[in-house]
Structure formats: C-alpha cells, structure tokens
Amino acid sequence: CAVFEKEPPRPAFDPKAKNYDLKAWLLEGRIGVQTANDAWQANLFWEHDADQDRLRVSGPFSQGMVSIILQKDLIYINEGGGVTELSRDPDAMLKERLGFIVPLSSLRYWIVGLPDPNHTYTPIYNESGSLLGFRQAGWTLQFQNFMTVEDRIMPQKMAIQGKDVKLKLVADSWRIKG
Amino acid sequence: AEVAPVQRLRDFLARANTLQAEFSQVIIDEAGNPGQRTSGVFYLQRPGKFRWDYKKPYSQEIVSSGQKVWFYDVDLEQVTAKRLDEAIGSTPALLLSGEVALENNFKIENQGSDEGLFWIKLVPKSEDSGFKYVLIGLDDNTLAGMELGDNFGQVTRIYFSNVKTGVKLDRNLFEFRPPPGVDVFEER
C-alpha cells in the first residue's frame, strides 16, 4: 500500500487521465514572464468555456491590468479606461501588448496539462522514467507540480519555454465548471 | 473645530516617519464579487522606502529602497527589479511615503467619516495613472485602510491593523538580496 500512496498524481496528458473532456474552468494564479529584454510577474485570472476565454493579467494592487477576451480567432484587449481593441490575429496582438508570442490556441490546452490535439508532441521523461512534460510545436512544457481538483489532476506549477520567451505559471486555485 | 480629514492625513504623514502594520487585502471585481484575499506585513520608512511582505496564501515580497523596487514571487522563483518611478504597483506605498507631493498630483477631497474612520479621497490629475481614485482611511490619527479604484471598476481594499509608527526599522528590510537559484532581472 505504501507504493500506491507514494505514486505521484498522474500527469494530465497521461492517456489514463481525462482532461480532454474539460469544457469550462476557472484558474486563479500567477505568471512569471521572461523575454530577451524584459521580465515581469503578474496575477493571472483565466476563465474558459466553450465560447470564449476571459483573461485578466494584473500587477500588484490590480495595477496595470490588461483584460483579454478570446473567441476562436478574435481577440479583444482592454487596458481600462474604456478602450477595447479588436484583432483577428490574437498572437500578433498579444506580442504587441505583452511583448511576447505564445500560441494562445495551444496555451488553452497546455494550461490544463494537455498537448494541443491539433499538433504532434513528444513526451519528456526524467531519468527515473516518469513523465515530466512534452515538446510541441517548438515549445517545451514542464510540469513541476500537480493538484487534485475534484476527481481531476490539474497543473499547479509549470514552465513553458519557447524560442524567445519563458513563462512560469503557478495555480492558486482551479474551479472546474463543466 | 473638527479637524478636517485632509489635515489629519497631513499630520499623520508628517508624524509617521516610519510605520509597520499588518495588512489584509481583497480585490473586489466590478460586479462587487470579492476575489482572493491576501495578507502580510507592511513596512514604511519615509521618504520612498517600503516593503510589502505577502505571507498568505502565497509568499511574495515587494521591496523599495527608494530608488529601486524589487518584486519577488517565491513560487515563481523570479525577481524583477524596476526603477521606483516605473514600478507598477508602487502607488499605494508611495502615497504614504511622502515621495509623492500630494497637492500637485491629486485633487484631494474630504470624504468625512464612516464607521469611525476619516476618509480622504485622492483623484489623480494625470490621466494615465493606472487608477481612478485612492481612498485613505484614518482611525482618529493613524492609518487604518486604503482603497484603490482602477479603470476597470475593480476595487482593491487594504485593511491595516496593529499599526506602529515611529518604530526603529532594520535597514536590511529595504535592501533586497535575491536568494540563490532564483531568476533575477534588473533593469539597467
């Protein structure tokens, strides 16, 4: 029984885990961004459902907040003061606003611990053979920690390494809404 | 005569050369729903030195030496240092630190007293200050609370308790030394 107890929670992208059926969730956590010429940390609020993703990235005391709404290939960005900008190229708009590119359509999957089903991926194992993460479309995803939420295993701490940006994410709370 | 809250604020700022207090903070969204609560200890040494030690539910440090502000998130293992005047989020402490000349940067209004606190409202004169107003609450003559209204209609409330002013504060509180193994980014 000791072995069972010690068995770490199964990383979400393990075929036996089941996060692909996730329809709606809400994440409250923190994000660390590192690019060639800047670095910052912020609070992250991300609410996902079938129609859209609503993100809020803000500094301490909710200063400097950016609100992002994503629908299919449409992105709305609002930095407060009533001005909302719209673009059909979410990744480019994000690069302009937050200073880095990350494929948002894939990030929706990565953040719940899943490879984007529309691209191939290669799992990464550590020396003792347990799953660490995966590589996909030029990005390396590493999951340092998981948390159990209802009967699901959700990422609690992860790193996303791209060519010219590194994101670190920590989840403070997950709410599964459907 | 009744001392106007604005005068109370000036008296408090003039007297509180150093300050130490526990704080708890909650962000209330534009629909009025309270979000995550965080809490910790706040230190202030005028002019310009301050420290927010977030302890619960996670640990973060915001440290200002008066020139630079360090943001350290323990879980993210990342430290970013920005110049004080560019550091997002240094506003609340700067208002108390005397670094900011209140009169020329804010319209100051008495909000009278409520729940035994005297409230002063500061409305930034410059458009792009990142927030719509700041309320400072004084309990007879010591800091009790602050509230920031941002441009999204959200409200950040900070409650101070166990407030001590004029205490001797260790100089190291306002100098940040990154722990080993943490990613550090200092703005040149």
Residue type, A5: E
Interchain pair B76, A28: CB under 8 A = no
| Contact residues, chain A, for B151 at CB < 8 Å | 65, 79-82
pLDDT of residue A151: 82
Tens digits of pLDDT across chain B (188 residues): 567 777 888 888 888 899 999 999 999 999 999 988 999 999 999 888 999 999 999 999 999 999 999 999 999 999 999 998 877 777 788 888 776 777 888 899 988 888 788 899 999 888 777 788 999 999 877 899 999 998 899 999 999 999 999 999 999 999 999 999 999 998 76
Residues 6+ apart with CB under 8 A from B180: none
Of A32, A38, A80, the CB nearest to B150: A80
Please give the radius of gyration of chain B, using alpha carbons only, rounded to the nearest integer.
16
Interchain pair B89, A61: CB under 8 A = yes
User: Among all residues of chain B, which has the CA nearest to that of A171?
Assistant: B75
pLDDT in tens, A34-82: 998 889 999 999 999 999 999 999 998 888 889 999 998 899 999 887 7
Percent share of chain A, pLDDT over 90: 61
The larger pLDDT score, comparing residue A83 to residue B99, is at A83
Q: Are B64 and B174 in contact (CB under 8 A)?
A: yes
How far, in whole angstroms, is CA A42 from its chain's centroid? 14
| Contact residues, chain A, for B152 at CB < 8 Å | 62, 65, 67, 78, 80
Compute the Cα dihedral for B23, B29, B32, B36 and give only its sign.
Answer: negative
Quick one: how many helices (H) and strands (E) in chain A? 3, 11
**Hey, of A63, A84, A156, A175, which one would you mutate to test binding to chain B, going by the most B CBs within 10 A of its CB?**
A63
Q: Are B98 and B107 in contact (CB under 8 A)?
A: no
pLDDT of residue A5: 42
Q: How far is B3 from chain A (nearest CA, A)?
A: 30
